[in-house]
Amino acid sequence: MRAQGVGAVGRGLGLLADTWTLLILQRAFLGVTRYAGWRETLNISDATLSARLRSLVEADLLEPRPYREGGRERRGYALTERGGDCWKLLLATWYWEQQWVPREVPLPDIVHRECGAAAGVQLACDHCGERVAFRDTEVWRKPGAPALQLLSRVHPRRTRGRLPSDPLSLLPGAMEIIGDRWGATVLGAGLAGVRSFTAFGDELGISPEVLSDRLRRFIELGVMERGFGGTARDGRYRITEKGLASFPIHACLIDWSLRWQVADGAEVDLEILHAGCGERLRVRLVCDRCDTPFTRGSVSPGRPR
């Protein structure tokens, strides 16, 4: 979708902040290349799968790779360079879910091939190499731009229906955070310091119904809280520790958007700066066991615990 007037980060959100899209990409990283493979492992309808694959090809995240089987040509797809570059977003998502979302069947460990350990994922600045937490950053928005009104011309799209139930692909917490565009935008605005219901509405141009729904779900999920001032009348919202821990997910999404959507001619609408070195935060993900950066091929799922 090339919505007019939407900047790079808005476009990136429009593209990636969608549960099925993220699950299709995740499966591609795990080696799925055939239409039938997604269909079976994701328990997704043909209509939804075809529509998402078409969008992913249009956006140059996947490319068609037809193959022959039983004398017939069948549909297959491979990750492109920019699709493959989503690995950091998916790794950050996996780690946050594993750390913060209680579940009956635990997510598999993230095994770092270089050191062989079940690893934790730390966010670092690719320019200076330092570890980065949310408090070490500043958000820069394009001057004169209508604040965070990134998505006003992109229609919200909710994922309904049954999601897959195997332990690796179901990431219910993370999908609340980045699996839909409005949710991702509301939490991003919360991280950027928006506190009141009115301010969210003004900044995002979001309908009160959609805003109430997303705020309610974020409070249920424990990433936001309300009335923390201790008085019943204090209706302000803020991000909890669990919400702050999801910062690497947002940083990866923004980093990816700026790299690839600016290359396509989109304007820079928002940046995260690393206060330590003053540079734009280009994401590096580091193994907390051996201190070396992860690379795209350096992680695999451990055996389910």
**How far apart, in whole angstroms, are the C-alpha atoms of residue 252 and residue 175?**
15
Q: Which pair of structure tokens corresponds to residue 286? A: 């580091």
Instruction: From 55, 19, 3, select the one nearest 180 (Cα to Cα).
Output: 19
| Segment 77 to 136, residues that bind Zn ion, using CB under 5 A | 112, 115, 125, 127-128
User: C-beta of 283: minimal distance to Zn ion in Å?
Assistant: 11
When the beta carbons of 227 and 293 are compared against Zn ion, the nearer one is: 293
When the beta carbons of 84 and 120 are compared against Zn ion, the nearer one is: 120
Q: Which of 150, 274, 285, 286 is in the footprint of Zn ion by CB under 5 A?
A: 274
When the beta carbons of 51 and 290 are compared against Zn ion, the nearer one is: 290
Q: Provide the 3-class DSSP secondary structure of residue 250.
A: helix
User: C-beta of 137: minimal distance to Zn ion in Å?
Assistant: 10
When the beta carbons of 112 and 181 are compared against Zn ion, the nearer one is: 112
| Segment 154 to 183, residues that bind Zn ion, using CB under 5 A | none
User: C-beta of 302: minimal distance to Zn ion in Å?
Assistant: 13
Q: Which amino acid is at 250?
A: H
| Segment 204 to 223, residues that bind Zn ion, using CB under 5 A | none
φ, ψ (nearest 5 deg) of residue 112: -90, 115
User: Residue 137 pairs with which residues in a beta bridge?
Assistant: 274
Binding-site residue total for Zn ion (CB under 5 A)? 11
The answer for residues whose C-beta is within 8 angstroms of residue 278's C-beta and 6 or more apart is none
CB 286 within 8 A of CB 158: no
When the beta carbons of 41 and 122 are compared against Zn ion, the nearer one is: 122
290 binds Zn ion (CB under 5 A): yes
User: C-beta of 246: minimal distance to Zn ion in Å?
Assistant: 20
CB 77 within 8 A of CB 65: yes
251 binds Zn ion (CB under 5 A): no
User: C-beta of 282: minimal distance to Zn ion in Å?
Assistant: 9
User: C-beta of 126: minimal distance to Zn ion in Å?
Assistant: 8
User: C-beta of 128: minimal distance to Zn ion in Å?
Assistant: 3
**How far apart, in whole angstroms, are the C-alpha atoms of residue 78 and residue 61?**
9
When the beta carbons of 113 and 195 are compared against Zn ion, the nearer one is: 113
The answer for residues whose C-beta is within 8 angstroms of residue 209's C-beta and 6 or more apart is none
277 binds Zn ion (CB under 5 A): yes
**How far apart, in whole angstroms, are the C-alpha atoms of residue 53 and residue 80?**
13
When the beta carbons of 17 and 254 are compared against Zn ion, the nearer one is: 254
| CA pseudo-torsion sign 5, 183, 198, 228 | negative
CB 6 within 8 A of CB 151: yes
* Residues at the contact surface with Zn ion, assessed by CB under 5 A: 112, 115, 125, 127-128, 274, 276-277, 287, 289-290
